Amino acid sequence: MKSMSKNWPLWEIFIRSKAGLNHKHVGSLHAADAAMAIQNARDVYTRRNEGVSIWVVESSHITASDPDDSDPLYEPAKDKVYRHPTFYDLPDELKHM
């Protein structure tokens, strides 16, 4: 298992659980290429009826923000409550806002 895991790249897996919802990140797995990643994702992440659609992306293609930059990136938004649309009166008929 070890030698193959070293050779096969890691893929991030996104599953859409039903039509209309977003794809959500569910985890990662190893595969030789995109087609195998889809097939592996089907076997690993949808065996309990979790999904209707799968996206895969090679993990190395994802650029992540640096945790050390957390303060400048996210702190400034914390005291700006007026950016949340909570100051409007919504009619009761509107759901899921």
Residues engaged in binding other proteins (CB under 8 A) = 1, 4-5, 8, 29-32, 35-36, 39-40, 42-44, 47
CB of 4 to other proteins, least distance (A): 5
3: tokens are: 């030698």
Locus of tokens 């070293």:
6
Residue closer to other proteins by CB (options 43, 93) is 43
Residue closer to other proteins by CB (options 10, 21) is 10
Residue closer to other proteins by CB (options 10, 90) is 10
Task: Specify burial of residue 3 (Cβ count, 10 A radius: 0-12, 13-18, 19+).
Answer: exposed
The residue among 58, 29, 60, 59 whose CA lies nearest residue 46 is 29
CB of 39 to other proteins, least distance (A): 7
11: tokens are: 């893929």
